Amino acid sequence: MPPRNERMRPGSPRAAPRLRRLRRTPALRNLVSETPSIDPGRLVYPLFVTLRGPAVAAPGLPAMARRDVRGTVEEVLRVSAQGVRAVMLFGVPSRKDPLGKGAWDPQGPVPRAIHALRRALPDLVIMADVCLCEYTDHGHCGVLRGSRVDNDRTLPLLARAAVTYVDAGADVVAPSAMMDHQVHAVREALDSRGFEEAMVLAYAAKFASWLYGPFRDAAGSRPSFGDRRSYQMDPRNAREALRELEQDEAEGADALMVKPALPNLDVLARARRRFEVPLAAYQVSGEYAMIKAAAAQGWLEESRVVPEILTSIQRAGADFILSYFAGELPLPAEETAA
Ligand SMILES: [Zn+2]
Q: Is residue 27 part of a domain?
A: no
| pLDDT at position 218 | 83
Q: Is residue 19 part of a domain?
A: no
Q: Is residue 3 part of a domain?
A: no
Q: Is residue 22 part of a domain?
A: no
Q: Is residue 17 part of a domain?
A: no
| pLDDT at position 14 | 67
Catalytic residue numbers, as ranges = 206, 259
Total structural domains within the chain:
1
Q: How far is the CA of 255 from the centre of ligand 1 (A)?
A: 19
Cα–Cα distance measured from residue 81 to residue 79, given in angstroms and rounded to the nearest whole number: 5
Cα–Cα distance measured from residue 87 to residue 185, given in angstroms and rounded to the nearest whole number: 23
Q: How far is the CA of 133 from the centre of ligand 1 (A)?
A: 4
Q: Is residue 83 part of a domain?
A: yes
Q: How far is the CA of 117 from the centre of ligand 1 (A)?
A: 23
Structural domain containing residue 248: 38-336
For 208, which DSSP code? -
| pLDDT at position 82 | 95
Answer yes or no: are the C-beta atoms of 109 and 117 closer than 8 Å: no
Cα–Cα distance measured from residue 237 to residue 320, given in angstroms and rounded to the nearest whole number: 23
Q: How far is the CA of 329 from the centre of ligand 1 (A)?
A: 28
Q: How far is the CA of 4 from the centre of ligand 1 (A)?
A: 67
What's the CATH number where 234 sits? 3.20.20.70
Show pLDDT as tens, one digit a residue, over the chain (338 residues): 555 555 555 555 567 899 999 999 999 999 999 999 899 999 999 999 999 877 777 788 888 899 999 999 999 999 999 999 999 999 999 999 999 999 999 999 999 999 999 999 999 999 999 999 999 999 999 999 999 999 999 999 999 999 999 999 999 999 999 999 999 999 999 999 999 999 999 999 999 999 998 888 888 888 888 889 999 999 999 999 999 999 999 999 999 999 999 999 999 999 999 999 999 999 999 999 999 999 999 999 999 999 999 999 999 999 999 999 999 987 765 554 44
| pLDDT at position 329 | 87
Cα–Cα distance measured from residue 96 to residue 102, given in angstroms and rounded to the nearest whole number: 7
Q: Is residue 11 part of a domain?
A: no
CA distances from 171 to 43, 59, 68, 87, 186 (A): 16, 32, 21, 10, 14
Q: Is residue 116 part of a domain?
A: yes
| pLDDT at position 4 | 55
Q: How far is the CA of 120 from the centre of ligand 1 (A)?
A: 28
